[in-house]
């Protein structure tokens, strides 16, 4: 029992070492490419200095790390097994009656522990930082673009038109009829001084305008005025509203289901937030399967002492899995595939291939 614990701890320690090395290398490369892109975008903005670009890069980095984490686990597992074989430690373990399943079991366990911490602790922090990044991106690179917030009272949409800021509060939207109910509009100047408040029972969206019905209008200097109909110039439309708002990766895992429910209650689709929730949950399981897949890809090659071939096979597996994940996610986002299938299909396929190959190479 003691020797098994010592071996497990030794494997975990080596795996964590390789995870740190591979993770640092991959995220450094990605950050350099992302910094180059930010510099390109900021080259034409006189009010965007390098310190702002660096701050945006730091805010985006945790989300980038989360995206590549399964592939960090894949390469770390391959290198851990390769190191065991290089110093004949794999041979000693096999001669002692330790199977490959017992070797990878501690690695899978620690990966799932790391995945649980990533999902429950690191993800909320990364999402909050990504939300700040999107605010800065909208402020410096996408000016005059609408922003949307969701609350129990409905949708809150901010729009800037010339010298006026308009904030729309909409209780419910009917996307099929292009209408909404119980809408309020608050107008401010660029210094956030209140100018006007408009409330309407119903509204219909048209080209570059919204028609309000049964309207009450009030300014700071006058009494409320009632109008049967009012046309308000705006760039808002149902498609714009549906595609506006916080990106799913800027919403915490703990809040995704709630945001999806509030959108559905407001008449909009919460599909992309539900898909994100399932994708995060499936990624947690996928990370453990990456260890099994790494062992199945490298076991025979390890025996043949082909280090570069092992790395090449790992890179090919990572590329194919990345393409598979992107395809299923794109089909799920478009509604072509059900959410469960698009989020969990890569996990199921990876598990099937990994376990089958490992059984064949270990027992065959």
* Structure tokens given for 221: 């200097």
For the chain, first and last CA: distance in Å?
29
Half-sphere exposure for 80 (CA within 13 Å, toward CB): 31
Q: How does DSSP assign 234-249, residue by residue? A: -S--HHHHHH-S--GG
Tell me the pTM.
0.77
The CA–CA distances, whole Å, from 48 to 31, 39, 45, 131 equal: 19, 9, 5, 19
Per-residue pLDDT of the chain (364 residues; tens, 9 = 90+): 447 778 889 899 999 999 999 999 999 999 999 999 989 888 877 778 888 899 999 999 999 999 889 889 988 998 888 888 777 777 788 777 788 888 899 999 999 999 999 999 999 999 999 988 988 887 777 754 456 666 666 778 888 777 888 888 888 787 777 788 888 899 888 888 888 999 999 888 887 788 899 999 988 888 888 999 998 888 777 766 766 666 788 888 998 888 888 777 766 777 888 999 999 999 999 999 989 888 877 666 555 555 566 667 667 777 788 888 889 988 888 888 899 999 999 899 888 888 887 887 665 4
Measured in whole angstroms, how far is the alpha carbon of residue 81 from the centre of its chain? 30
* Structure tokens given for 287: 């990370």
- Cβ atoms of 294 and 74 within 8 Å: the answer is yes
Buried b (16+ CB within 10 A) or exposed e, 202-219: ebebeeeebbbeebbbee
């Amino acid at each position: 029992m003691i020797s098994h614990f010592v071996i497990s701890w030794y494997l975990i320690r080596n795996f964590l070492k390789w995870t740190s090395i591979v993770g640092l290398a991959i995220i450094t490369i990605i950050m350099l490419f992302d910094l180059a892109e930010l510099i390109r975008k900021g080259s034409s903005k006189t009010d965007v200095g390098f310190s702002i670009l660096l701050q945006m890069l730091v805010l985006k980095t945790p989300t980038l790390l989360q995206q590549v984490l399964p592939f960090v686990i894949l390469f770390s597992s391959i290198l851990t097994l390769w190191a065991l074989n290089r110093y004949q430690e794999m041979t000693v373990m096999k001669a002692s009656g330790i199977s490959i399943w017992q070797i990878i079991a501690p690695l899978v366990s620690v990966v799932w522990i790391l995945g649980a911490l990533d999902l429950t602790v690191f993800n909320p922090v990364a999402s909050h930082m990504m939300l700040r990044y999107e605010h800065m991106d909208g402020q410096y690179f996408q000016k005059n673009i609408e922003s949307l917030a969701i609350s129990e009272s409905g949708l809150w949409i901010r729009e800037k038109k010339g010298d006026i800021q308009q904030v729309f509060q909409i209780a419910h939207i009917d996307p099929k009829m292009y209408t909404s109910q119980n809408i309020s509009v608050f107008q401010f100047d660029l210094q956030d001084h209140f100018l006007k408040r408009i409330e309407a029972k119903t509204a219909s969206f048209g080209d570059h305008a919204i028609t309000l019905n049964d309207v009450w209008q009030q300014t700071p200097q006058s009494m409320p005025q009632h109008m049967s109909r009012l046309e308000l110039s705006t760039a808002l439309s149902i498609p714009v509203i549906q595609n506006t708002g916080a990106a799913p990766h800027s919403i915490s895992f703990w809040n995704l289901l709630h945001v999806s429910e509030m959108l559905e209650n407001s008449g909009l689709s919460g599909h992309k937030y539900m898909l994100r929730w399932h994708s995060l949950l499936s990624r947690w399981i996928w990370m453990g399967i990456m260890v099994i897949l790494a062992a199945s890809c490298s076991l025979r090659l390890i025996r043949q002492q082909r280090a570069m071939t092992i790395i090449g096979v790992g890179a090919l597996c990572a590329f194919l899995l990345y393409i598979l994940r992107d395809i299923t996610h794109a089909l799920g986002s478009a509604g072509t595939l059900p959410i469960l299938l698009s989020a969990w299909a890569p996990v199921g396929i990876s598990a099937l291939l990994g376990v089958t190959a490992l059984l064949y190479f270990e027992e065959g």
